[in-house]
Amino acid sequence: MGHLQFRIGLTAPDREASVDIIMPSGVRPDRYYKYGRTPAMPSTAWYRFDYDGSTGAEFPFPQRLRLNFIDGERGDADLIVNSAIIDPGAPGLARTFVTIDFKAAADNVINPRDKGKFWVAILSDADFDARQVNVSSITLGPAAATVFRQRQKVGDADGNGYPDLWVQFRTKDTGIACGDTEVILKAGTPGGELIVGRDVIRTVGCK
């Protein structure tokens, strides 16, 4: 996602400051790393800047992170109370949330007792290329079904001009049960990044 560096000037006696950073579309960080020292870590290094109730990173909304600082304390690179907070750091994420399109039937209807197969499209956009996903790592549903015989195809499922990745599953492998209202897909990328996608479903044929 790239590195950030900025300086915040404070007016004494104020020591606290918060900064909201809005990320590009489709980028939803869930952690923030700082470079420097802390009161408990005298050597300069990267460290997780998790929120501890006073300083650290919070994630109040998707695509937005909030950095909370106190002059001279953890998160202020120089650890000096000098009416200035220096922040070299970088947002990060453990997972990327993507959009999927459940293609079992119109209106996302599925019969959990069906013995057939269906397609799910992992959608691409300007910030994410679904073709980078490792097909062998894809799982779907409560039973973590794998792609049936690695069947896949590429095509623009949503008409936005970007090539989407379609993968096929057997209904009975997914663990989808009567009354389920959501299906979750998980997968990995060659870089080791976890992606997660969700879509709503409606089950039928359950009586």
Encode pLDDT of 119-154 as tens digits: 999 999 887 899 999 999 999 999 999 999 999 999
Pairwise CA distance, residues 154 & 131, whole Å: 8
Encode pLDDT of 21-69 as tens digits: 998 876 778 889 898 889 988 888 888 899 999 999 999 887 789 999 9
Q: Please give the CATH architecture assigned to the domain spanning 96-203.
A: Sandwich (2.60)
Pairwise CA distance, residues 180 & 177, whole Å: 6
Output the CA torsion 198→204→206→207 (10° steps): 150
Pairwise CA distance, residues 21 & 89, whole Å: 12
pTM of the model as a whole: 0.58
Domains in the chain: boundaries? 4-93, 96-203
Indicate the average pLDDT of the chain.
90
Encode pLDDT of 181-196 as tens digits: 999 999 987 766 788 8
